[in-house]
């Protein structure tokens, strides 16, 4: 093998899979373009990618997305913080007792498997059409992965580490801070990431069903007015926001798990 083809192979190893991913997205955009320009798909149902792009630029330039983005992010932040705090506290307390684990772990796992979004009409009746119902639903949905992973994380700390720390004279606080928390952290972080993802999903989802404002509300509103290109532009915007937030949360997750 020549040196040149060796270097080529290295380059392919490194960027090959990225290249395929980019090509995949490009192919979809191309099909989309062909569908609207050549194959006669109705423009009212499916606007061309070019017009979506023009609308997207317009949305960004005018900054009209700001009010809706603020509302959605506020709902997400409040729901995630409340679910994180309550889920980790409740989960930690349960993890301290084998009896509580035996009672609550299967109970929470069972509730977690129910599609809680079904209760959205009830939440709207209780909390109204505004942000309160979205926040309440987001909390309910993301509480369960957080509490379950906290129970798993703190409930399965290697006993020899606890015994070793106690034999060296660790106080209860030192044991918690320097042994239990770092041992449980990777599992708890996975639960937080999961909780964040489904909070985002359920909040935007419920905005599209019954709401007064927010990105989900805006998208449905545009659809009802048949302003399809602008609606697609908003969908692209939401996808970008979601990818950005999930990447940030994943990076935090990976940081907490490094070196072990």
Partner 1 sequence: MTQAATNTAISVRNVSHSFGEADEARHVKALLDTSLDVTRGELLCLIGPSGCGKSTLLNVMGGLIAPTTGTVMVGDKPVHGPMPNDIAFIFQENALFPWSTIHENMILGMSFQGVPKAERADRAQRALEAVGLDEFAGHYPSQLSGGMRQRAALARALSLETNILLMDEPFGALDEQTRMVLGEDLSVLLSRSKKTIVFVTHSLGEAVFLADRVAVFSARPGTIKEIITVDEPHPRKSAFMTSARFHQQRDQLYDLLHDEIRKSMAQSGKPKRAYEDQSSRAGPAA
For partner 1, which is the closer residue by CB, 63 or 98?
Answer: 98
List 25, 45, 66, 160, residue binding partner 1 (CB under 8 A): 160
H/E stretch holding 160 reads: helix 159-167
List 73, 117, 161, 236, residue binding partner 1 (CB under 8 A): 161
Nearest distance from residue 173's CB to partner 1, in Å? 11
Nearest to 249 by CA among 207, 211, 193: 193
Nearest distance from residue 260's CB to partner 1, in Å? 5
**158 lies in the binding site for partner 1 (CB under 8 A):** yes
**166 lies in the binding site for partner 1 (CB under 8 A):** yes
Separation in Å, CA 3 to CA 9, 12, 16: 10, 14, 19
List 93, 127, 178, 245, residue binding partner 1 (CB under 8 A): 178
**260 lies in the binding site for partner 1 (CB under 8 A):** yes
Nearest distance from residue 86's CB to partner 1, in Å? 26
Please give the full DSSP string across 223-240, using - where no structure is assigned. HHTT-HHHHHHHHHHHHH
Separation in Å, CA 36 to CA 1, 23, 40, 47, 239: 47, 20, 6, 7, 22
| Contact positions with partner 1 (CB under 8 A) in 183-202 | 183, 185
**98 lies in the binding site for partner 1 (CB under 8 A):** no
**156 lies in the binding site for partner 1 (CB under 8 A):** no
Separation in Å, CA 204 to CA 71, 96, 190, 198: 11, 36, 22, 10
Nearest distance from residue 44's CB to partner 1, in Å? 57
Instruction: DSSP letter for 179, please.
Output: I
Total residues at interface with partner 1 (CB under 8 A): 20
**54 lies in the binding site for partner 1 (CB under 8 A):** no
Angle at CA of residue 223, ends 219 and 229, nearest 5°: 85
Spatial distance between the Cα atoms of 92 and 160, rounded to a whole number of angstroms: 20
Stretches 140-148, 171-179, 210-218, 239-247: which one binds partner 1 (CB under 8 A)?
171-179
Which residues of this chain interact with partner 1, rule CB under 8 A?
A: 158, 160-161, 163-171, 174, 178-179, 182-183, 185, 259-260
């Amino acid at each position: 093998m020549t040196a040149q083809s060796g270097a080529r192979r290295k380059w392919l190893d490194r960027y090959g899979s990225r290249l395929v991913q980019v090509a995949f997205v490009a192919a979809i955009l191309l099909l989309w373009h062909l569908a609207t320009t050549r194959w006669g798909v109705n423009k009212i149902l499916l606007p061309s990618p070019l017009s979506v792009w023009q609308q997207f630029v317009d949305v960004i330039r005018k900054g009209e997305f700001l009010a809706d983005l603020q509302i959605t992010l506020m709902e997400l932040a409040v729901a995630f913080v409340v679910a994180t705090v309550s889920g980790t506290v409740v989960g930690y307390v349960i993890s301290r007792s084998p009896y509580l684990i035996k009672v609550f772990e299967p109970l929470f796992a069972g509730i977690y498997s129910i599609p809680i979004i079904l209760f959205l009409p009830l939440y709207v009746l209780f909390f109204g059409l505004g942000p309160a119902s979205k926040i309440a639903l987001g909390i309910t949905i993301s509480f369960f992965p957080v509490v379950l992973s906290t129970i798993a994380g703190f409930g399965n700390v290697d006993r020899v580490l606890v015994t070793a720390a106690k034999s060296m004279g660790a106080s209860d606080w030192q044991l918690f801070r320097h042994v239990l928390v770092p041992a449980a952290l990777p599992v708890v972080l996975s639960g937080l990431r999961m909780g964040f993802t489904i909070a985002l999903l359920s909040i935007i989802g419920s905005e599209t069903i019954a709401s007064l404002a927010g990105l989900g509300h805006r998208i449905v509103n545009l659809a009802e007015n048949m302003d399809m290109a602008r609606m697609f532009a908003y969908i692209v915007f939401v996808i970008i926001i979601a990818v950005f937030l999930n990447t940030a949360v994943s990076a935090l997750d990976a940081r907490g798990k490094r070196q072990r």
